Structure 1
Amino acid sequence: MAPRAAAKQTETDTTGVVPDLETLIGYNMKRAYVAIQKDFRAALGEGGLSPRTFSALSLVVAHPNISQSSLARMLGIERSGLVAIIDELERRNLLTRSVVPNDRRIQALVATPDGQLAYHDTLATVQAHEDRLLADLSASDKDTLMKLLKKIRLTDREST
């Protein structure tokens, strides 16, 4: 077989070959994450909340008057990385920052009425996106997946 033909066959013939990469949990989790993120962004459309802004808004709705430091800790990100997220949510009139009376150095975050509405609308869209994406999994499969993902998350002691 000519070298060029052999190279072409090698590039396209993957039948029965399972690369080591396919056996790695981390690789498969990353690929699943990419698929979920792609569908998430498509479901929310142009101008919709990104996963990180939705996550931040969700926690602000659940914890009114949360400090920026607490929010960063709950999200598992650096406080400095949170600034752009908060700026975006504030620019979109979805949350407000206010100074805590006892400690003027701390900023409390509160969802605006528009933020509450955007959160609930986005949550419904995200739930529909997950239902569609995970339609081939049984309720038991979904429960098991969630339990396993939470176990993995708990290994990251810094974000708890």
Structure 2
Amino acid sequence: MKKAASKSVDTTAVTHVSDATLRNFMGYHMKRAFNVVQADLVQTLKPFDLRMLTYTALVLIVDNPGMRQSQLADAMDIERPNLVVIIDELERRELIIRDRVPTDRRAYALKVTLAGRQLYDKAVAAVTAHEALLLDGIDEATRVAVIAAMKQIEKSQRKG
């Protein structure tokens, strides 16, 4: 009878997880920073009963009155079927209306209601204030440089 090979069991517990290798990648830093911004945004939008996606859609509709659903899907970079759920929620809450486009009966133009405009004003003010607090201590030149770098990354993806 063969003796079973003994397995070496490491009983030392990891007391500190190192992410040193990952910290060499800009994408990792971007993701970590986004997690902080996203968590703050979730809390900021909660009193308005908005999620990141519904807030984004509302802002785009207010800023682009009469835009079509397909344009909104493109602007948000989401699949059109996924957009329907967002649009339905905003419409159910009477924040927006869908109007048929007279020249294309398959298309809908999206317009904000008075209630939607009022919620937009309050939510944008809250997000602006919270982002100012979140980014406090980062000078304007650094903010401009970071935004320019992110735009360059986004632009390079469109080339490929």
Question: What secondary structure sits across from 2:136 in the alignment?
Answer: coil
CA RMSD of aligned residues (A): 1.9
For 2:93, the equivalent position in structure 1 comes to 92
Which of 1 and 2 has higher RCO (CA within 8 Å, sep 6+)?
1
Q: Residues 121 and 13 (structure 1 numbering): CA distance in 2 closer, same or farther, change over 3 Å?
A: closer
* TM-score when normalising by structure 2: 0.86
Deviation per CA, 1:44-86, whole angstroms, max 9, x where unpaired?
2255311111111111111111000011111111111111111
Q: TM-score, normalised by structure 1?
A: 0.86
1:133-148 matches, cutoff 5 A: 133-148=134-149
Which residue does the alignment assign to 2:6? none
SS of the residue aligned with 2:108? strand
Equivalence for 2:77: 76
Q: Which sections of structure 1, spanning at least 5 residues, go unmatched?
A: none
- Aligned-pair distance for 1:35? 0.8
Q: Which has the higher helix share?
A: 1
Q: How many residue pairs end up in the alignment?
A: 151
> How many percent of aligned residue pairs carry the same amino acid?
38
Structure 2 unaligned blocks of 5 or more: 1-9
How many angstroms apart in 2 are the aligned matches of 1:47 and 1:26?
31
Matched letter for residue 12 of structure 1: T
What does residue 150 of structure 1 align with? 151
Structure 1 residue ranges, 4+ long, deviating more than 3 angstroms after superposition: none
Aligned position for 2:37: 36
Q: Is the 8 A contact 2:48 2:123 kept in 1?
A: no
Equivalent residue for 1:12? 15
Match of 2:126 in 1: 125
